Amino acid sequence: MVTTLSCSACGNEYAAGADEPWRCECGHPLDFSEQPLPDGPAPEFTDIDTRDGLWAFEEFLPVRRVATLGEGFTPLVDADDWNAQFKLDCVFPSGSFKDRGATTTLSRAAELGVETVLEDSSGNAGAAIAQYAARAGIDAEIYVPADAKASKLKAIECAGATPVRIEGSRQDVTDACIEAVENGDGWYASHAWNPAFFAGTMTFALELAAQRDWNVPDAVVTPLGHGTLFLGAYRGFRALLDAGWTDSMPRLLGVQAAGVSPIADGIHADGHVDARNDVADGIQITHPARRDQIVEAIDATDGDAIALDAGSTEAALEKLHRTGFYVEPTSAVAAAGLTAYRDRGSLADDADVVVPLTGSGLKA
């Protein structure tokens, strides 16, 4: 059990527990002060009990297993049509990679004795939090835009969680949720802010390395909104290196939706376009909570972030579907990014690349 949370921006520390703050006084996100690491050497893949799913890596996790649906160890397959490997994170109980963070976040909530969790999302994160709250026997209130589609609310309502409809912009929804957190209405199980969520998404890297016998790829290309998977991957590869289980870091290459691409715009000043990529609506995040950390991860891995339009995302989505990968539209932005990075010459044709497919097409 972790005892301290700390702020990477100002160094402030806070006691961990049911009354811990959801962010630092300075406004930045908090993280667990220590990253647990295993003592021994990396195991042979055949010695890992994959029936434990992502909890096979409990030695790396600052949370004990409570709320689990057997998630993780998603397939890693060769995608010859793309000259890459795909990690099928569309294969999860709620249909997206967000379950990696939901299982650790709700496990920690249960450990802390939390009775109600709050989250703001109308998409995959809301469904994942609702489902794992149901599994943990914890009440969940999910703040959603007033005009959220009925199909998206269904997964939340079916799990017994309460959707709280808020008029206005996506930011208004977040603001209303934070106000409720500040009023003491519940514990903020945010996929953007809660450090337990990122401890869970870290397992993407741990599984991937294990499935490749601890050989890290040259690059990983992921969708980039709040950086839930991007930062999780960074932390996982970093922990593997610190544990001595691997000997290098992959380049981390993010892909944003054109028109809502703050990280890519910061790197490529001339790259911003106004036409919004509404195909990849799952990553349209104007103010990523962990922006500084995302930029650090890019700098530390010789990484990059680019913004892609709706046309290239749709073309990648069609090709994914035709080659057997039935994913939701936002997932396709990473596959489109694989092509774009190669076309721009920033990724060699023979580079060893892994791309996560983050959400199932059955949800769309």
Q: Which residues bind Zn ion (CB under 5 A)?
A: 7, 9-10, 12, 24, 26, 28
Element (H, E) at 32: strand 30-32
Nearer to Zn ion, 25 or 302 (CB): 25
SS3 category, 9 = coil
Cα gap 364→349, rounded to integer Å: 31
Which residue number, 182 or 318, has a Cβ lying nearer to Zn ion? 182
Please, which residue, 23 or 98, has the CB nearer to Zn ion? 23
d(CA 82, CA 13): 45
> Looking at beta carbons only, is 5 or 317 nearer to Zn ion?
5
Min separation Cβ 285 and Zn ion, Å = 21
Provide the minimum distance between the beta carbon of 30 and Zn ion in the complex, in angstroms, as a whole number: 8
Q: Using alpha carbons, select from 189, 227, 212 the residue that is nearest to residue 97.
A: 227
Exposure class string for 206-231: b at 16+ Cβ within 10 A, else e = bbbbbbbebebbebbbbbbbbbbbbb
Q: Is the CB of 29 or the CB of 254 nearer to Zn ion?
A: 29
- Cβ at position 135, least distance to Zn ion in Å: 33
> Which residue lies nearer to Zn ion by CB, 21 or 38?
21
DSSP 208: H
- To the nearest 10°, the Cα dihedral for 178, 183, 186, 191? 10
The nearer residue to Zn ion, 6 or 246, going by C-beta atoms, is 6
Q: Supply the minimum distance, in Å, between the C-beta of residue 23 and Zn ion.
A: 8
Rounded to a whole number of angstroms, the minimum distance from the CB of residue 24 to Zn ion is: 3
DSSP, res 260? B
Give the Cα separation of 183 and 194 in Å (integer).
18
CB of 296 to Zn ion, least distance (A): 15
Helices (H), the chain: 98-112, 124-136, 150-158, 170-182, 195-201, 203-211, 228-243, 262-267, 291-300, 310-322, 332-343
Element of type H or E holding 76: strand 76-79
- Least distance between Zn ion and beta carbon 18 (Å): 21
